[in-house]
Amino acid sequence: MSKLEKKYIEQVVTQYPQLRKKLFARGFFLTNDFVKEDQYPFYNAWKGLKIGNYRLYVSEEQAYYVEQYKDKYFVLIGHAYNPFTMCSDEKKILQTLTAYKDLDEEFFSKINELTGIFTLIIFEGEKICIIGDPTCMQTTFYTKIKHNIYVASHTNLLADLLELQWDPYVKEMSEYRFFPLLGNALPGDLTQYKEIKRLVPNHYVILDKKDILVQRFYWPHSLKLKEEDIVKKSETIIHNNLELIAKKWRKPAISMTGGCDSKTTLACATGIYDKFSYFSYKSSESEEVDAKAAREICKRLGLKHKVYTISENDLDYENIEAVRAILEWNTGGIVPINRNDVRKRAFFSNIDDFDIEVKSWASEIGRAYYSKRFAGRKKFGKKPTPRKCTTLYKFFLNNRKLVRETDKVFKEYLDKYFEQAKKDAIEWQEQFFWEYRVPSWNGLVITGEHRYSFDITIPYNNRKLLAILLSAPLESRLDDDIYKKIRKSMNPEIDAVGISITNLKHTKNRGIAENIYYTIHSKILF
């Protein structure tokens, strides 16, 4: 658990006022309650918008868009673009959404076409509806205390204003010796604070003075497509997304490794390579492999590739301790943030070479993550159980009380989000990865850490694209066949280089050990 406190963060931004805009960077806050705009954490720097009895505050670095239709207001915070209509104008996207009277199937069909990192809020009188991007890469948290409603991009933004205290269970979890393994995510839709919940992908939340309603609007399901259709549809969507990115931003840059995801992104940029710059970074010896691989691939294609070398010496950065504190607070203060990650954010905050990073995250949703992690495991049981979820969540070797408490959390999560699955729903562990692991970990990193330096977009963060990728047979997803065929179709030169980088953490022996652990731990009772 982090030892930081709100009082200390206030001292940091008082001492370094130039860092105030980095506190809850690209964040937002919504309430029908009164807040002091001239004080911490806003300091009169956040943009304000009044809608009825609500007040929306948005960080000065964050874009937002508003469209009104009769008595409804549609507000999109972040960015969105549509690879099916080739629209990259958020105002036009919102205008399209206003044509629908209700939150019905047709409305959500349009929502499902969108790529981006955003939160959509619909205002209708005292009632608001919150919808996230396909994987909730822009994290969104909400609570209702008495008759007041609060929604924000960061948990500590809410907690600081409401003076909330940590949940004792979360405190114990954060202090568990193996907690940092497999990321800093909390189980279920939990946050550090009992009063606050996290928005889960494929669901919307309706809040008013009386109640909170969480409703699923999309079940990930098999589309039963032929392999050639999966390849064609996927490459078209990714390419269209990249075209829209190139149109939408002045200086987009694709971050590169030698891995499957970024190579596929690069392949799908065929025909528009001149619209992007390409970069990697190395902040430690272990990152040299990826940087070298990316350099060789780009060289083969005749593309300029830049490697940023990030010093491991803290003395090379201004106010590094203040930066560390803000980053740690932005990510929830659950655990101390890695020093190397702090240096990366400090370094890139001073780089003006691009105005958006094109990141290839979320793609793993279509690549059988858990099967690969557990040495090619193909069966996880027909239905999820709390213990199976707990086992996928963390390694529990010596704290059985914590296991039982976590089981309770995941039981509530399954009851809330996994009821009445469609007959053609995808395997539960794939849905769990999409709706739980990706937003609770990757979303936290994107919102709380990476967007500290610059904005990010993800061409794979499209609900219809992810559904198409998940329609491939398991064997195909295990071998990344779809991705290989996309690259072969779009630009075979990339794989001709003969470079393929895999995650060294997922070694064969580790996979076997984790598979044994899953088999035993998911069934045994404590």
- Please report, as a single letter, which amino acid is at residue 342: V
- Please report, as a single letter, which amino acid is at residue 150: Y
Q: Which residues pair with 150 in a beta bridge?
A: 31, 143
- Cβ neighbours for 451, distance < 8 A, ≥ 6 positions apart: 25, 26
Residue 122 located in a structural domain: yes
Residue 506 located in a structural domain: no
- The whole model's pTM is what? 0.97
Task: Say how far residue 222 (Cα) sits from the centre of its chain.
Answer: 23
- Give which of 108, 200, 207 is closest to 151, Cα–Cα: 207
Please say whether the beta carbons of 235 and 490 come within 8 A. Answer: yes
Residue 415 located in a structural domain: no
Residue listed under structure tokens 């198409």 = 468
Residue 216 backbone phi and psi in degrees, to 5: -75, 140
Report how far residue 408's alpha carbon sits from residue 401's, in angstroms, rounded to the nearest whole number.
11
Per-10-residue mean pLDDT of the chain, 526 residues long, equals 88 98 98 96 96 97 96 97 98 96 94 98 97 98 96 98 97 93 92 98 96 95 94 98 98 96 98 98 88 96 97 96 98 92 96 97 97 95 94 91 96 92 85 97 96 97 98 96 98 92 70 93 82
Residue 342 located in a structural domain: no
127-132 and 277-282 strand pairing: unpaired
Report how far residue 101's alpha carbon sits from residue 107's, in angstroms, rounded to the nearest whole number.
8
277-282 and 305-309 strand pairing: parallel
Provide the pLDDT for residue 285. 81
- Please report, as a single letter, which amino acid is at residue 444: L
- Please report, as a single letter, which amino acid is at residue 313: N
Report how far residue 286's alpha carbon sits from residue 280's, in angstroms, rounded to the nearest whole number.
13
Residue 514 located in a structural domain: no
CATH number, domain containing residue 34:
3.60.20.10
Residue 105 located in a structural domain: yes
Is the N-terminal amide bond of 41 cis, ω within 30° of 0? yes
Helix (H, G, I), strand (E, B) or coil at 368: coil
Question: Which strands form 28-31's sheet, in the order they lie side by side?
Answer: 47-51, 54-58, 28-31, 148-152, 141-145, 197-198
Residue 147 located in a structural domain: yes
What is the rounded end-to-end Cα distance, in angstroms, of the chain? 26
Q: How many other C-beta atoms are found inside a 10 Å radius of the C-beta of residue 259?
A: 18
Long-range contacts of 161-167 (CB under 8 A, 24+ apart): 161/29, 161/35, 161/41, 162/195, 164/193, 164/195, 164/196, 165/193, 166/192, 166/193, 167/191, 167/192, 167/193, 167/194
Provide the pLDDT for residue 521. 94
Domain range for 83:
6-216
Report how far residue 94's alpha carbon sits from residue 482's, in angstroms, rounded to the nearest whole number.
33
Q: Which residues pair with 115 in a beta bridge?
A: 81, 462
Provide the pLDDT for residue 1. 60
Q: Hey, what are 196's tokens?
A: 């606050």
Residue 265 located in a structural domain: no
Helix (H), strand (E), coil (C) string for 138-172? CCCEEEEECCEEEEECCHHHHHHHHCCCCCHHHHH
HSE toward the beta carbon, residue 515, CA cutoff 13 A: 19
Please say whether the beta carbons of 355 and 250 come within 8 A. Answer: yes
Task: Say how far residue 486 (Cα) sits from the centre of its chain.
Answer: 24
Report how far residue 283's alpha carbon sits from residue 281's, in angstroms, rounded to the nearest whole number.
7
Total structural domains within the chain = 1
- CB burial of 436-455 (b: ≥16 within 10 Å; e: otherwise) equals bbbbbebbbbbbbbbbbbbb
Provide the pLDDT for residue 420. 67
Report how far residue 516's alpha carbon sits from residue 390's, in angstroms, rounded to the nearest whole number.
15
Helix (H, G, I), strand (E, B) or coil at 161: helix
Provide the pLDDT for residue 499. 84
Provide the pLDDT for residue 397. 82
- Give which of 389, 384, 417 is closest to 403, Cα–Cα: 389
